[in-house]
C-alpha cells in the first residue's frame, strides 16, 4: 500500500481545506512531499475527494446552508413576535392588576416574567424597553425584519457555491459554539454538521407546530 501522502478527513483541518478550496491547488492536499507528481498520488486524491463529497455533498450542503440560514431568520422572527405579544399582554394585565391592588391597598409587586421578556428583547434586538414608545420601536423592528426576510428569501431557485468556511460559521451559529477552525479536523467538522442539521430539524418541527 502506498505511503499516505495525501490528507484524509481524519488529518485535514477546516482551515487547510479552506485554503485548498480557495487556491484550487492540489499542494494543499499533501501531508508531506508536495513536490511529488500528481499522477503518483492520483488514487489518494480521488479517495479523499470521494470521502469528502460523501460527507459534505456540495449540492446538499449548499441547499442546507440556505435552508438553515432561512430557518434561523424565521426562528428569530417567531421569537420576536412571541415576545412582543407576551409583553403587550403582560403590560395590559399588569395595569389592571396594579389598579386593583391600589384600590385594595395591597403591595404592588414587579412582574418578573415581564422583566425577563424585556431582557430577552435587549439580548436579541438591542432594544431597551422602558416606555410604551420603546414597545412601538420594537414593533417597527419586527415589521422591518419581516420585510428583510421577504427580500432575502424570495421564492426562486437558490444558487450554488457555498464555501466550507460559510458552512463552518453557520453551523457554529446554529450550535452556539466557537471552536478553533485551524485545529478542527474534517471528521470533527462532520460531527458539528450532523449536530447542526439535527438541531435545525427540531427547530423546523417546532415552527411547524405553531
Coil, strand or helix: which one is 30?
A: strand
Q: What angle do the packed helices 186-209 and 164-175 form, to 10 degrees?
A: 50
Same domain, yes or no, for 49 and 69?
no
Same domain, yes or no, for 100 and 32?
no
Give residue 65's pLDDT: 58
Query: The dihedral of CA 86, 88, 93, 95: what is its sign?
Result: positive
User: How many domains is the chain partitioned into structurally?
Assistant: 2
Give residue 99's pLDDT: 62
Within 10 angstroms of residue 158's Cβ, the number of other Cβ atoms is 12
Coil, strand or helix: which one is 13?
A: strand
**Domain range enclosing 170:** 1-55+163-210
Q: Which of 81, 116, 113 is nearest to 94 (CA)?
A: 113
Same domain, yes or no, for 117 and 202?
no
Same domain, yes or no, for 47 and 102?
no
Give residue 186's pLDDT: 94
Per-block mean pLDDT, blocks of 10 residues, the chain (210 long): 80 92 85 81 85 74 61 78 81 63 64 82 88 86 87 60 80 87 93 87 72
> Under 8 Å CB-to-CB from 2, ≥6 apart: which residues?
41, 43, 44
Same domain, yes or no, for 69 and 148?
yes
Amino acid at each position: 500500500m502506498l505511503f499516505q501522502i495525501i490528507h484524509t478527513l481524519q488529518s485535514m483541518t477546516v482551515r487547510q481545506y479552506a485554503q485548498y478550496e480557495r487556491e484550487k491547488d492540489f499542494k494543499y492536499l499533501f501531508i508531506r512531499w508536495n513536490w511529488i507528481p500528481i499522477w503518483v498520488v492520483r488514487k489518494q486524491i480521488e479517495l479523499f475527494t470521494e470521502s469528502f463529497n460523501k460527507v459534505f455533498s456540495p449540492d446538499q450542503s449548499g441547499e442546507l446552508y440556505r435552508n438553515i440560514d432561512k430557518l434561523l431568520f424565521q426562528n428569530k422572527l417567531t421569537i420576536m413576535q412571541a415576545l412582543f405579544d407576551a409583553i403587550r399582554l403582560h403590560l395590559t394585565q399588569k395595569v389592571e392588576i396594579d389598579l386593583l391592588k391600589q384600590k385594595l391597598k395591597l403591595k404592588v409587586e414587579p412582574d418578573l416574567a415581564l422583566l425577563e421578556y424585556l431582557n430577552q428583547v435587549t439580548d436579541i434586538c438591542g432594544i431597551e424597553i422602558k416606555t410604551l414608545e420603546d414597545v412601538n420601536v420594537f414593533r417597527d423592528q419586527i415589521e422591518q425584519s419581516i420585510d428583510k426576510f421577504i427580500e432575502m428569501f424570495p421564492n426562486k431557485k437558490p444558487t450554488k457555491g457555498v464555501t466550507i468556511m460559510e458552512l463552518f460559521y453557520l453551523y457554529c451559529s446554529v450550535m452556539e459554539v466557537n471552536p478553533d477552525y485551524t485545529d478542527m479536523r474534517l471528521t470533527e467538522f462532520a460531527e458539528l454538521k450532523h449536530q447542526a442539521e439535527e438541531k435545525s430539524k427540531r427547530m423546523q418541527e417546532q415552527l411547524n407546530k405553531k
